[in-house]
């Protein structure tokens, strides 16, 4: 699959919460809104891995920046520029339904993009992920692995 660029997205936290997708062994945990942000550490690892393979990569960190969904979509669309981008969305156990909603909005806004879900919880949530038409690919291992 040829992609013009990769865009890694940490979606906004669900309303009323701050998500920590790295806690609980990477399965994630929700805290009350206003709690300190917890950007997932696997995002910079994944970005470095993609860059090392010679591909352009951008990161949209909506969680730590407390972006809403509309702003997140606008940033992803601006980076994608209508191209065939690979959009990699980080999810976790407590945010899966919210994140899948964000994925659906990305897919609707960027029909040329390939929406991919990743995170340690994805293999455990595979039955749920397969039910969602907005997800075209799911990474079932460490996203930055060989």
Per-residue 3-state assignment (H helix, E strand, C coil) for the chain: CCCCCEEEEECCCCCCEEEECCCHHHCCEEEECCCCCECCCHHHHHHHHHHHCCCCEEEEECCCCCCCHHHHHHHHHHHHCCCCCEEEEECCCCCHHHHHHHHHHHHHHCCCCEEEEECCCCHHHHHHHHCCCCCCEECCCCCCCC
Mean pLDDT score, 92-97: 95
Which pTM was predicted?
0.94
Is the pLDDT score of 127 beyond 80? yes
Question: What's the pLDDT band for 26 if we cut at 50, 70, 90?
Answer: confident
Is the pLDDT score of 59 beyond 80? yes
pLDDT of residue 143: 75
Is the pLDDT score of 1 beyond 70? no
Is the pLDDT score of 142 beyond 90? no
């Amino acid at each position: 699959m040829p992609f013009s660029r990769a865009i890694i997205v940490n979606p906004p936290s669900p309303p009323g919460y701050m998500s920590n997708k790295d806690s609980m062994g990477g399965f994630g945990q929700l805290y009350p809104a206003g709690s300190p942000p917890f950007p997932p550490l696997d995002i910079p690892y994944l970005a470095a891995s993609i860059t090392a393979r010679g591909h352009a990569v951008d990161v949209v960190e909506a969680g730590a920046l407390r972006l809403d969904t509309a702003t997140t979509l606008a940033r992803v669309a601006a980076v994608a520029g209508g191209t065939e981008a690979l959009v990699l969305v980080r999810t976790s156990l407590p945010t899966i339904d919210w994140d899948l909603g964000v994925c659906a909005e990305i897919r609707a806004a960027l029909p040329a993009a390939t929406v991919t879900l990743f995170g340690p919880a994805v293999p455990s949530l595979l039955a749920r992920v397969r039910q969602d038409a907005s997800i075209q690919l799911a990474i079932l291992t460490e996203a930055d692995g060989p």
